[in-house]
Amino acid sequence: MSHILGIESSCDETAAAVVDASLHVRSNVVASQYDLHAEYGGVVPEIASRAHLERVLPVIRKAIEEAGIGMHEVTAVAAGVRPGLIGSLLVGTSAAKGFAWARMLPFYAVDHVAAHMFAGLLRTDAAVPAACGNAASGVASGYPALGLVVSGGHTSLFRIENPVACALLGRTIDDAVGEAMDKAASMLGLGHPGGPNLERCAQGGDAGALRFATPQLPNMLDFSLSGLKTKLLYEVRGVPQGRGAQATFARTSADLSESRRSDLAASFQKAAIAQVLDRLSRALDAAPADGAARPQSLFVGGGVVSNASLRAALAAWCASHGIALVVPERRFCVDNAAMIAGHAQLRRALGDAGDDLSVPAEPVSLLARGAAPSRRGDGPKRVQ
């Protein structure tokens, strides 16, 4: 039986997991560093990498133990090697390489963005996604597909031919959706964690209270969130007098009534979701216009996909367009190592025997490298 040990350390979660060839998650251990960074209002790279160093070995040990297997039953090791904070990535990547080298196991260098996108194929005892039950069917059915990753660091849209051939269709030209939701939450005076707090505050709010325009961009499959943020800022605090650091505002978020705060949160969330759906519809329409086969499924992933309104909107969009939605359980939307091991299993099912130990950790995703391509994308990229 193939048991791949996955290790993830790209940002502020130290995670390890074991996933078998049926894409069954045998263990999924995540050590969050949330408390360490809270007082700084963001992730401090130096603190993050030191914390990864302290936690990575206990987390790996726990993942193997919880999988109910022995160390000798691990058949391959996978690490998220890009994108992310380089000091953080190096810890998980080095630990994975060391494990693989010591036991002479195959090593898979996995792209974090690709891993997010295919996390919907993972299964647990409790929930078996209807779409695919194992790595072999996960690479064989449902393609071509659209892929969408919406997280704190990434907002990208892909055309997928199979789990290792993805062409970038569009991406954010400024903030990622999760990053914008975090900033919107901060503008509204909601504490950390921004995205989940914004979702909570939006409940019961009037999503029509503030209207946002859909950004018009040279590539209409790209995303832009900065205009939404500016509009929200002016709504909350008034139009500023002066510029830059000298700017002064008439109001603060403390002047908002609870119901107005809730209305603004709901409106912002709705606008972000509307932009996602707009881009998906354009990508779907573009396929036949470009002479390409119509996508059969939509693979989604990333932390923002844990948002219930986005999940409902994606499900409704897919149903109305006759497309299968492959969406992860909430715990596999945010950063985790099961998605890393899962993507390695998909590669293995495609006959990929792994990477050389010399593959480096890198801050940028291969999937997002270079200038944003035209609407057609720049051809499928091999995804490790």
| Footprint on this chain of ligand KG4 (rule: CB under 6 A) | 151-153, 178-179, 181-182, 193-196, 199, 302-304, 306-307, 334-335
Nearest-approach distance from CB 59 to Zn ion, in angstroms: 17
Residue 13 binding Zn ion, by CB under 5 A: no
Size of residue set near Zn ion by CB under 5 A: 2
Is residue 329 packed enough to be buried (19+ CB in 10 Å), middle (13-18) or exposed (0-12)?
middle
Residue nearer to Zn ion on the CB measure, 295 or 302: 302
Tell which positions 319-358 bind Zn ion, by CB under 5 A.
335
Q: How many CB atoms lie within 10 A of CB 82?
A: 27
Instruction: State the binding partner of 178 from Zn ion, ligand KG4, none, CB within 5 to 8 A by kind.
Output: ligand KG4
Residue 263 binding Zn ion, by CB under 5 A: no
Q: What angle do CA 12, 14, 17 make, to 5 degrees?
A: 140
Residue nearer to Zn ion on the CB measure, 31 or 69: 31
Contact yes or no for 346/299 (Cβ under 8 A) = no
What is the arrangement of strands in the sheet containing 107-111, beginning at the earlier edge strand?
Answer: 25-32, 13-20, 3-8, 76-82, 107-111
User: Residue 274 to residues 83, 191, 212, 267, 361: CA-CA distances in angstroms?
Assistant: 27, 25, 10, 10, 35
The distance in angstroms from the start CA to the end CA of the chain is 22
Residue 151 binding Zn ion, by CB under 5 A: yes
Residue nearer to ligand KG4 on the CB measure, 263 or 335: 335
Nearest-approach distance from CB 152 to ligand KG4, in angstroms: 3
Contact yes or no for 11/335 (Cβ under 8 A) = yes
Nearest-approach distance from CB 32 to ligand KG4, in angstroms: 10
Report the run of H or E that residue 226 belongs to, with start and end: helix 226-237
Residue of 100, 5, 86, 4 lying closest to 52 (CA atoms): 86
Nearest-approach distance from CB 151 to Zn ion, in angstroms: 5
Nearest-approach distance from CB 291 to ligand KG4, in angstroms: 34
Contact yes or no for 279/128 (Cβ under 8 A) = no
Distance in angstroms (rounded) separating the CA atoms of residues 259 and 236: 13
Enumerate residues 6+ apart whose C-beta is below 8 A from 49: 85, 87, 88, 90, 91
Instruction: State the binding partner of 111 from ligand KG4, Zn ion, none, CB within 5 to 8 A by kind.
Output: none
Residue nearer to ligand KG4 on the CB measure, 181 or 338: 181
Instruction: State the binding partner of 87 from Zn ion, ligand KG4, none, CB within 5 to 8 A by kind.
Output: none
Nearest-approach distance from CB 199 to ligand KG4, in angstroms: 4
Residue nearer to ligand KG4 on the CB measure, 325 or 334: 334
Residue nearer to ligand KG4 on the CB measure, 135 or 304: 304
Residue nearer to Zn ion on the CB measure, 294 or 369: 369
Nearest-approach distance from CB 151 to ligand KG4, in angstroms: 3
Which residues sit at the interface with Zn ion, rule CB under 5 A? 151, 335
